Amino acid sequence: MLDRGVFDGTHLAMMVHPAPFDGVECNVLAIGDLTVTYTGHPAHASLAPYDGINALDALTVAQVAIGLLRQQLPPGDQIHGIIAAGGDAPNVIPEKTIARYCYRSLDPERLEALRERVVRCFEAGALATGCSVTYQSDSPPYTEFHNDSVLWDLYRKHSVAFGRFPQEMGEGGRGLGSTDMANVSRVLPAIHPMIAAAAGGAANHQAGFTAACATPSGDTAVRDGALLMALTVADVARDPGYRAAYLAATATTPSPSPEKAGTP
């Protein structure tokens, strides 16, 4: 949407996201993704295993390398993933395996450096086994979030009036996932608060949290989030100083996303 001009002429942007707690400052990590495919050669695992090139072995080597790499990662860097395809039958040397991995860091520059280290781990698997390896990304990389302090303060004021008291988001203000809206925040004033639903101790992407979002508490979070954003916008619209500042600060044509600009 950003690259196609949807935000052209827009002066600010905001959204809320459900969570087990209320928070205003969005401190998320930059993120990239890799879908990695190893291709080897199938063979019967008992009759002639020496005729095969094991694509699952290649992925195993890569996962061990990534596991060891984690010890040397600086704070804020993360790597995590799954095996999407690992073979078809236990008595056949796997010809193809597919892994889907995400890697995160504090900013686009560090993200690119981390990507290079992760790719070397996957290359090690290919080198050790004789498999070929290919990479693709399912989405553009997302950046860290740039919070607008005025919108942040206005939203917080209304949140407290609603009886919602925002917490600091993330250990040390970092590490609460990633979002495509972070790219928008680099070219528009933006905020991305979290709004609480009573989840009984469950966190996002757990079944208990999903269930909590379909309760009266979840409905209240939707209503409150919409009202809090509307009140924040109304404050900006009613204040001549805020209006003038946002009109002056926002370019009519956003700068390109990190992918278009050639950075991760």
Domain spans of the chain? 13-28+144-261, 31-136
pLDDT at 169: 67
Pairing of strands 190-191, 30-39: unpaired
Please report how the helices 216-238 and 149-161 are oriented relative to each other, as an axis angle in degrees rounded to 10. Answer: 130
Residue 236, Cβ neighbours under 10 Å: how many? 18
pLDDT at 252: 47
Q: Tokens 């989030």 correspond to what residue?
A: 225
pLDDT at 248: 85
Please measure the distance between the N-terminal and C-terminal CA atoms of the chain and give it in whole angstroms. Answer: 18
pLDDT at 168: 74
Query: What's this model's pTM, rounded to 2 decimal places?
Result: 0.87
Architecture of domain 31-136 in this structure = 2-Layer Sandwich (3.30)
Of 17-26, 46-55, 100-109, the least confident: 17-26
> For 72-95, how does the pLDDT look when each residue is reduced to its tens digit (9 = 90+)?
999 999 999 999 999 999 999 999
Helix, strand, coil share of the chain (percent; to 5): 40, 20, 40
- Is 91 exposed, middle or buried, given 0-12, 13-18 or 19+ CB atoms closer than 10 A? exposed
pLDDT at 167: 82
Is-contact 31 108, C-beta < 8 A? no
> For 110-158, how does the pLDDT look when each residue is reduced to its tens digit (9 = 90+)?
999 999 999 999 999 999 999 999 999 999 999 999 999 999 999 999 9
Fold agreement (13-28+144-261, 31-136): no
pLDDT category at 170 given cuts 50, 70, 90 is low
Average pLDDT over residues 36-61: 98
Mean pLDDT of the chain: 91
Average pLDDT over residues 84-108: 97
191: nearest Cα among 239, 238, 141, 246: 246
Q: What does the alpha-carbon distance between residue 64 and residue 57 come to, in Å, rounded to a whole number?
A: 11
Q: Across the strands, what pairs with 36?
A: 99, 135
What are the structure tokens assigned to 191, written together?
A: 């905020």
pLDDT category at 185 given cuts 50, 70, 90 is very high
| CATH domain 13-28+144-261 topology | Aminopeptidase (3.40.630)
What are the structure tokens assigned to 57, written together?
A: 């072995």
* Model confidence at 25: pLDDT above 70: yes
> For 201-255, how does the pLDDT look when each residue is reduced to its tens digit (9 = 90+)?
998 999 999 999 999 999 999 999 999 999 999 999 999 999 999 988 764 444 4
Share above pLDDT 70 across residues of the chain, in percent, rounded to a whole number:
92
66: left (phi over 0), alpha (psi -120 to 50) or beta: alpha
Of 14-23, 175-184, 194-203, 238-247, the least confident: 175-184
